[in-house]
Amino acid sequence: TQSTRPQRLLHAVQKNATKGDPRSVVKAIDNFCRQKEWAMNVGDEKGCILDSVVSEVNPVTVLELGTYCGYSTVRIASLLPPRAKIITLEFNPDYAKIARQVIAWAGLEDKIQVVEGPSGEWIPKMKEQFGVKTFDLVFLDHWKDRYLPDTKLLEDCGLLRKGTILLADNVICPGTPDYLEYVRNSPRYKSQYFKSHLEYTKAEDGLEKSVFLG
């Protein structure tokens, strides 16, 4: 039977990356997406901005919305301090399966918890199920029309604290207009746009970094 793109991406990792070396996993995916098949990973250009935000925040608890194949999950986790953890939500079981294998190849299973299911159901359960108090960093990269409702849900569930950083992918392409309007105009956020390019292309895209002010 025909393989899927995530399966071919996983095979490229297993073929070209060194087991236990997260940065070689990131490189292998970027090479696959540049040379073979485009895929919706945050990519190497926006990935460098992601790296700098993660290094600056030095988070202990991270939430990622939308795992896909685990590219940004591995990229973030590779920069986390020893006891830090990332919880990543993915509701497509096939993608979750691939992501778990990419994460295992990187040797980062101990830092990453892949939770299968929709963000809308899991966000309200974060405290009771995973003992999370608040998140230090949230990376939004799932359906673009869910960024705003899920941000409001995170607020309502008390999962954001004064200083929590929200970092959102694709605020230009495909675009998240309602989310951008909210974080840029709400008195509860201080927002900053990092101009870049859509992964593996010359099209404009960027990341929006928003600090929750409490």
Ligand X SMILES: CCNc1ncnc2c1ncn2[C@@H]1O[C@H](/C=C/CNC(=O)c2cc(-c3ccc(F)cc3)cc(O)c2O)[C@@H](O)[C@H]1O
Residues that bind ligand X (CB under 6 A): 40, 66, 68, 89-92, 95, 118-119, 141-143, 146, 169-170, 173-174, 198-199
Tell me the three state secondary structure of residue 211. strand
For residue 127 the two structure tokens come to 């405290």
Q: Are strands 112-116 and 85-90 parallel, antiparallel or unpaired?
A: parallel
∠ CA 123-81-132 to the nearest 5 degrees? 25
For the chain, helix (H) and strand (E) counts, in that order, are 9, 7
Select 134 or 209, whichever has its Cβ closest to Mg ion.
209
90 is a contact residue toward Mg ion (CB under 5 A): no
- 208 contacts which partner out of ligand X, Mg ion, none, CB within 5 to 8 A by kind? none
State the minimum distance, in angstroms, from the CB of residue 200 to Mg ion: 12
Q: Among Mg ion, ligand X, none, what does residue 146 contact (CB within 5–8 Å per kind)? A: ligand X
Which partner, Mg ion, ligand X, none, binds residue 119 by CB below 5 to 8 Å per kind? ligand X
Counting contacts by CB under 5 A, is residue 169 touching Mg ion? Answer: yes
The answer to whether 87 and 110 have CB atoms below 8 angstroms apart is no
Task: Give the three-class secondary structure for 155.
Answer: helix
Distance (Å, rounded) from C-alpha 33 to C-alpha 129? 35
170 included as an active-site residue: yes
- Minimum separation from the CB atom of position 210 to ligand X (A): 17
Q: Is 169 a catalytic residue?
A: yes
Asked if 94 is an active-site residue, the reply is no
Residues with catalytic roles? 141, 144, 169-170, 199
